[in-house]
Homo-oligomer: A and B are copies of this chain.
Amino acid sequence: MSANMTAKSFRVRDPNYVERIKGAFGRQGFLRYVDARIEELAPGRCVIVADFRAELAQQNGYFHGGLIGTIADTAGACAASTLIESWQWMLTAEYKINFLAPAKAARLKAVGEVARAGRTLSVSLVHLYGVDDGGQEQLCALATVTVATLEREAPVLQKD
């Protein structure tokens, strides 16, 4: 898949996509609350990380599945957001996550890659890794995220 994705050349419509996405990211209270950070942004690709702390854990000391889903959703949506126009906006329509191994690690890392960049619907595939202090990565979850492109930042779903 990676090979495919790398080979695929995505068309960037907004040259300032990095600033745009980082700005929108910073205005999301929940992402700040869990201290998620953008580690990498490239056309059709986004890497999000979050450091372990007890507030993000379930009862065995692993990253909580809900937090992992949050990071997956974010990585998938931001990857798709690199390819839209400057005035457009994205909203997650649905996401699906499979847990593959417990995420007991110093850091959680989500690598989102666009599998389809459409005019109204885009789909990202997200691989999630637990990263230990030595930088060793273990795949812990796999997610797909469908995002809808809106023509402006607005709660259009409600009146849709």
- Contact surface of A with B, Cβ cutoff 8 Å: 1-4, 24, 27-33, 54-60, 62, 64-67, 69-71, 73-74, 91-102, 104, 115-116, 118-121, 123, 125, 127, 139, 142, 144, 146, 148, 153, 155, 157-158, 160
Interface on chain A toward B: helix, strand, loop, or mixed SS?
A: mixed
Set of chain B residues within 8 Å of A92, measured between Cβ atoms? 65, 99
Contact among B2, B30, B91, B96 with A67 in the assembled complex (CB-CB below 8 Å) = B30
| Number of copies of chain A assembled together | 4
Contact among B30, B102, B157 with A66 in the assembled complex (CB-CB below 8 Å) = B30
Known: A29-B57, A30-B64, A66-B74. A121 touches B93 (CB 8 A): yes
Alpha-carbon distance A18/B101, docked complex (angstroms) = 28
Contact status B91-A99, CB under 8 Å: yes
Contact status B139-A4, CB under 8 Å: yes
Alpha-carbon distance A143/B56, docked complex (angstroms) = 22
